[in-house]
Every structure is written in structure tokens, then in C-alpha cells.
Amino acid sequence: MISPLTGRSELDTDALYRIVEHMAAGKVNGIFLLGSTGEWANLPSETRNRLLIHGIRAVNGRFPVFVNITDTAISEVLRKAAEAEGAGARYAVIAPPFYYDMTQSELMRFFELAAEGTGYPACGEPSNGMQRRGVRGCKPVSPPVY
């Protein structure tokens, strides 16, 4: 889902509620907050937090909410997971850490630490960037949720 903004990266909460209502009317099976379409990497943490809280509030339990908790530091992944879970997100999504080259075993350890430290099911899948670095695939940390 896009992250509607006003001015300088501030959340447009009215637009957010309208977008969620439009999606609900279209009978979506779930929404993904803070994904790449929502420009998660470029939003200030306060805006991300407001989007998380208001997005889940707007959904009001009508369908699952997936939240991106990607970060390069496992401590930040776990903090974001706790925030998402506390706000009521059903699933957390973690992309492989960006910026760092990681081996297959390092990547798997990253996902294992994330899975051990959260209440969410987890599965690591390689991104295009990982494939370019020679990491061709990885086994699920726990059964994937599709």
C-alpha cells in the first residue's frame, strides 16, 4: 500500500483511512504497510510509527496486515517487530539486510535470529541483490506463510 504524505514526509491520516476503505471495498485479502511502494526506507521513524498505528486502526481487524520490519541491525528488526506486533499486525516481513554482502550461512543466521526474537513466522527468500552476489536460495526458517 502506498504511504500517503502531506508536506514534508508527514502522514496524511485522512487519505490513509480513505485508501484503506477503498481497498476494503475492493475485497482485498490483506495489506502490506511500509513496503517498497510505501517508501519505507525514506520515511522518518515518527511517520513510520504513525502509519503503522493508523493503518492497523483503519483496517480494524477486517483483513490481515503485513508490516515491513527490514533493517540492517537485528536489534532494530526486533524492535520494529515488537512495535508491529503490539500494534496488531498479523505478519512481519523482513527483506535481507541491504548494504552488506552476506554469505548464505550469515543470511540464514540473520533470519534465524529474527525468527527466534519475534512471535512471527519467518521465511527468508533471496532478493535480486542477493542473487547478483551469488546467493541462489535459502531454506525457510520456519514454514512460510503465503
- Note whether 86 and 113 are within 8 A (CB): no
Take residue 111 and report the three cell numbers written for it. 533470519
Separation CA 20–CA 4 (nearest Å): 11
- Across the chain, how many H-helices and E-strands are there? 5, 5
pTM over 0.85, yes/no: no
Q: Are strands 5-6 and 10-11 parallel, antiparallel or unpaired?
A: antiparallel
Separation CA 70–CA 76 (nearest Å): 8
Separation CA 137–CA 87 (nearest Å): 32
- pLDDT (tens, 9 = 90+) of the chain, 146 residues, equals 999 999 888 999 999 999 999 999 999 999 999 987 767 788 888 999 999 999 999 999 999 998 988 888 999 999 998 999 889 888 888 888 877 788 888 888 888 888 888 877 654 444 444 444 444 444 444 444 43
Torsion of CA 133, 135, 140, 145, to 10 degrees: 50
